[in-house]
Amino acid sequence: MSHPDLVALATIARREVMRILRIWTQTLIPPAITMTLYFMIFGGLIGSRVGKMGGLDYMAFIVPGLVMMSVIQNSYGNISSSFFGAKFGRYIEELLVSPAPDWVILAGYVAGAVLRGVMVGVIVMAIAMLFTTVHVAHPLVTVTAVLLGAVIFSLAGFVNAVFAKKFDDIAIVPTFILTPLTYLGGVFYSITLLPSWAQTATYANPIFYMVNAFRYGLLGQSDVQLWQAYVLMLAFTGALGGFALWLLRKGVGLRS
């Protein structure tokens, strides 16, 4: 990477970070409040009646799913709103005509989104420690699963922002696709509780693999083989990254 490219990447990423910190009451506090309620209601009230889930205390069982859910939602939401805002304000054109390569522009926005997702994930993890104790079983798996999940949904959010024509368009995917997939991705239950047809349908849900990879990293337990989760996550990263770069190069939704 040349020095000018490095400067451009750092500048875009720093701008995204400053945006997150400047409006921290909107970017960091609401997810913390929401997840605290999840832990209190699902983990505390309902979990006390559920008992064990997959041999684990129910409160501990839902921790990986809630952390990953917050990482996914915030990574996606950050880049979709930020990049669409750049389109709407028409200052994205300044980046497109600059000497910065397309991959630098994409990487800068993704870096900011991943950072917000990780920051929220750390906050949610700290809140979880107030309700239960989780000993990280596999630190490397824990870190890589979170980062890959954040990158994947940052790229997905970027694609959404490219095609969006109005602010309402960036809310369609999270509302009608992302949220259902998250709730049906094994956040609150083990797949072994489902009938065979529902288990088969769950295997088609990519979030299911991300949640279980992270659960394996934290708790040492997963409903899928770890290699399957990593193959899927790496495949999504490559496919979405390539598609996002192609959209940038072609100027789809940007130069019209």
How far apart CA 111 and CA 121 sit, in angstroms, is 15
**Residue of 95, 93, 113 whose CA lies nearest to 19:** 113
Whether 167 contacts 84, CB under 8 Å: yes
* CA 72 to chain CA centroid, nearest Å: 2
Task: Write the DSSP symbol of residue 99.
Answer: S
Please give the model's pTM, rounded to 2 decimal places.
Answer: 0.92
| 252 Cβ contact partners less than 8 Å away, ≥ 6 residues apart | 162, 163
Residues of the chain with pLDDT under 50: none
pLDDT of residue 256: 54
So what's the pLDDT on residue 22?
92
Residues 6+ apart with CB under 8 A from 182: 69, 72, 73, 207
What pLDDT score was predicted for residue 16? 92
Q: What is the pLDDT of residue 124?
A: 94
Q: For residue range 103-139, list pLDDT tens digits in order.
A: 999 999 999 999 999 999 999 999 999 988 888 999 9
How deeply is 73 buried, as exposed, middle or buried, from its count of CB atoms within 10 A (0-12, 13-18, 19+)?
A: buried
**Backbone angles phi and psi of 56, in degrees to 5:** -115, 155
Torsion of CA 96, 101, 105, 110, to 10 degrees: 150
CB 67 within 8 A of CB 219: no
